[in-house]
Amino acid sequence: MKKLVVWGLMGVMLASVAQPVLAQARQDMGSVRVTFAHAVAKAEPAVVNIYAARVNRATLAQEPGLKPLIPQDNRMMDRIAKSLGSGVIVKPEGVVVTNLHVIQGAQAIKVVLSDGREFAAKKVGQDEKLDLAVLQIERTSNERLPFASFGNSETLRVGDVVLAIGNPFGIGQSVSFGIVSAVERSAAALSPYARFIQTDAPINPGNSGGALVDSTGALVGVNSGIFSKSGASNGIGFAIPATLVKRVVEDITTTGYVVRPWFGAEGQAVTPSVAKELNMPSVTGVQLTGVLPGSPAFTAGLRRGDVILKLGGGTVENPADLNEQVLAMPNLLNKPTPLVYWRDGIRQETTVTLTAMPERNTGSQVLVKGYNPLSGVTVEELSPGLNTELNLPLSTKGVIVAGLPNEKLGAFDMPVKDGDLLMAINGSTIRTAADVQSALNSSRSEWELRIMRAGRVINLKTR
């Protein structure tokens, strides 16, 4: 009984002490206000809504209500399609960066600022590999426009706070909050040429091309896509790092095109048997199977059989990893880059100076003519730079489909797609653009095409 009384008294005493303490704690907590309003105020004026209008071609016979009134022919009509997205002003002169898919094929582009001002804009350049486009706002005066300052995306850490600013679902400019979930995340479905910032900040349709900013309001990424089956955010969003975006903007505004790094070697993943044969301590790296003469890899002294372990500080585990690291490092262009490799049972170090990727051999392009399945198609001969872009062996010779006609020509359905590698036509091996036209210069009731598409060999027959 005494124990109960004592404990009861202690409880009363503790309660009497705790009440003012808790009250003070509540008061202190109430005075704490966590806000990122300063970051939003700094970045939001530079984020714009983008409206793109494009003309789609449609047959009149396919228009509802018109079919009974017109002959079944190929007469065409125009249909206006509109899309919306977001963008970021990155220079006071009105330079805007956005996703290419937001304005792809647009005949008219309108940019709306957060203060309601509207401007026409034109595309000055694009980077298909990163899905980026650079626009120029057409100003009527030399007034300076609000612009975002680039941050250093390379210093981002998992757990850092980030804010996504854009125009989700077209409802108007909105801000969402999250953290960096991962850095240097591969997302081949978006682009194999970048390591993305992954965030759980909600990114929805309409946010594409918008800003991802840090807690200070600095631009650390351009929102590009989400991983979702429904099309709405489920906490897995991706942004192109500001380091890459800045390089693309500078390239396009300076030269009109994007310059990409090039390594000039290819290889295969190290297997357990290869690692054992080479006396390697672990099964990792890319063993070179070919080094193109005159390439950066060749100049660095690399040769067939060497195993690449690290490039620019990043670990190389497989060929895709090597390709991604090279193409995602434009900031290292023409600069000595550390490289670690394995040769003769010894871990060795050197530097490699990545140079600009060789230009495509556009001079070899040929427009296919005549009455055949490929009429109106533009073909182009492979080159080292193009092979690298298409992830083909550097020594591959052949011809790719470099362009399709805007409209179906003749009675043939188009059997090929842009980027297909033409291997053979009617049994004739294709190695040059001239081979294509030669193989098609005959009258036939059936055509046989052998192509490579996305790494798969496909045999097609068309009449």
Task: Catalogue the active-site residues.
Answer: 101, 131, 208
Return the half-sphere exposure (C-beta side, CA atoms, 13 A cut-off) of residue 387.
16
DSSP lists the bridge partners of residue 108 as: 53
Q: Is 127 left (phi over 0), alpha (psi -120 to 50) or beta?
A: beta
User: Do the strands 174-187 and 265-269 form a parallel or antiparallel pair, or are they unpaired?
Assistant: unpaired
First to last CA, the chain: 103
User: Do the strands 336-343 and 132-137 form a parallel or antiparallel pair, or are they unpaired?
Assistant: unpaired
Helix (H, G, I), strand (E, B) or coil at 382: coil
CA distance 188 to 142: 41
Q: What is the DSSP string of 203-233?
A: --TT-TT-EEEETTS-EEEEEEEE--SSSS-
For residue 350, report the phi and psi dihedrals to the nearest 5 degrees: -155, -170
Q: Hey, how many other C-beta atoms are within 10 angstroms of the C-beta on 462?
A: 15
CA distance 394 to 390: 10
Q: Which of 162, 179, 208 is nearest to 47 (CA)?
A: 208
Q: How much of the chain is helix, strand and coil, in % rounded to 5?
A: 25, 35, 40
341 within 8 A of 348, measured Cβ to Cβ: yes
Distances in Å between the Cα of 264 and the Cα atoms of 35, 295, 385, 387, 389 are 49, 5, 9, 10, 11
DSSP lists the bridge partners of residue 15 as: none
Helix (H, G, I), strand (E, B) or coil at 70: coil
Helix (H, G, I), strand (E, B) or coil at 160: coil
CA distance 238 to 261: 23
Helix (H, G, I), strand (E, B) or coil at 424: strand
